[in-house]
Amino acid sequence: MGAGGLSFRRDLLKPVIAAVNGLALGTGFELALACDLIVAAEHAEFGFPEPRVGYMALDGGITMLTRQIPYKIAMGLLLTGRRMSARDGRAAGFVNEVAPPADLIATAERWAADIIACAPLSVEGTKQIALEGRDLPAWASPRWFPRRVMEAIASEDSEEGTRAFREKRPPRWKGR
């Protein structure tokens, strides 16, 4: 069911990082696309080989790929079963960073540390807007805010972030 259910979830507000160290084909590629960030080893390759065996990427891969990169590039992968290198995935826009294999986990952990340095409610609210806002018309998305976002804006963490900025110190997040 959709790369272990991940590709169809709209309620997972914790950021998810894929660290791809090798081939991410078919469902593996769908799983990576369902994550919020992709860090890939230099030798990693991505693709949907399904059309070569009379099948399609039906666990969300077709729509996720066409929403995340330019249509023509996505269709080139989807219609031919060709593979794309990690560097080309970075250029296309679905890979956030390419790293040497020995540094892959450390690179993913650095991205995680950057996220953890932010206010938890702001991160969750941002992800909620990104997930749910994709289905809104372009004119409506700037005006739409779920309740969680309003709570984050009025939170103790929001006040702490402003105070820490003024005092030129790192914020101490409480998640409330």
Check if the beta carbon of residue 54 is closer than 8 Å to that of residue 48.
no
Give catalytic residue positions: 30, 50
Check if the beta carbon of residue 93 is closer than 8 Å to that of residue 113.
no
With CA atoms as reference, report the closest residue to 27 among 52, 78, 53, 61: 61
With CA atoms as reference, report the closest residue to 10 among 148, 108, 130: 130
Structure token pair of residue 34: 């369902």
Phi-psi region for residue 32, left (φ > 0), alpha (ψ -120 to 50) or beta?
Answer: alpha
Alpha-carbon torsion (111, 116, 117, 123), positive or negative: positive
Check if the beta carbon of residue 59 is closer than 8 Å to that of residue 33.
no
Structure token pair of residue 105: 């986990």
